[in-house]
């Protein structure tokens, strides 16, 4: 039982590049979410999904897209990376109020 798996762990992008952060869970949770964590800001919700085929915006959705074609996978796409998107990204899958987080992806945009 791996829990929540995020890849990659580290990534450096140039401004304007696009990429996809992968997230997979094996707990059969309906609810999945993406957060970014910046110093002094805590975690902020980017997008979330309450089940396959359903996604919705969180607090800071601009510049990010998501899809949920299966229960297991919830990828986060950066369409055109900007330096302001330099952050640590966490994916989580939740059962009620208990969220299980991945190990995070440290993204730097130069």
Partner 1 sequence: GESVGLHLPTLSVQEGDNSIINCAYSNSASDYFIWYKQESGKGPQFIIDIRSNMDKRQGQRVTVLLNKTVKHLSLQIAATQPGDSAVYFCAERRSNQFYFGTGTSLTVIP
Nearer to partner 1, 63 or 101 (CB): 101
- Is residue 49 within 8 A of residue 68, CB to CB? The reply is yes
At residue 30, the 3 state secondary structure works out as: coil
Strand partners, 90: 35
90 binds partner 1 (CB under 8 A): yes
Nearer to partner 1, 11 or 17 (CB): 11
Which of 23, 29, 34, 48 is the binder for partner 1 (CB under 8 A)? Answer: 48
Question: Which residue, 84, 56, 83, 78, is CA-closest to 65?
Answer: 78
What is the Cα–Cα distance from 45 to 60, expressed in whole angstroms?
6
- Residue 56 in contact with partner 1, rule: CB under 8 A: yes
**Residue 33 interacts with partner 1 (CB under 8 A): yes or no:** yes
Binding site for partner 1 (CB under 8 A): 4, 31, 33, 35, 40-45, 48, 50, 56, 58-59, 90, 92, 97-104
């Amino acid at each position: 039982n791996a829990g929540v798996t995020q890849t990659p762990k580290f990534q450096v992008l140039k401004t304007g590049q696009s990429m996809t952060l992968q997230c997979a869970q094996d707990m059969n949770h309906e609810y999945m979410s993406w957060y970014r964590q910046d110093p002094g800001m805590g975690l902020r919700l980017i997008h979330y999904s309450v089940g396959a085929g359903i996604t919705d915006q969180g607090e800071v959705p601009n510049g990010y897209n998501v899809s949920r074609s299966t229960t297991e996978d919830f990828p986060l796409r950066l369409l055109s990376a900007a330096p302001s998107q330099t952050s640590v990204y966490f994916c989580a899958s939740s059962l009620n109020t208990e969220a299980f987080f991945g190990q995070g992806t440290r993204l730097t945009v130069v």
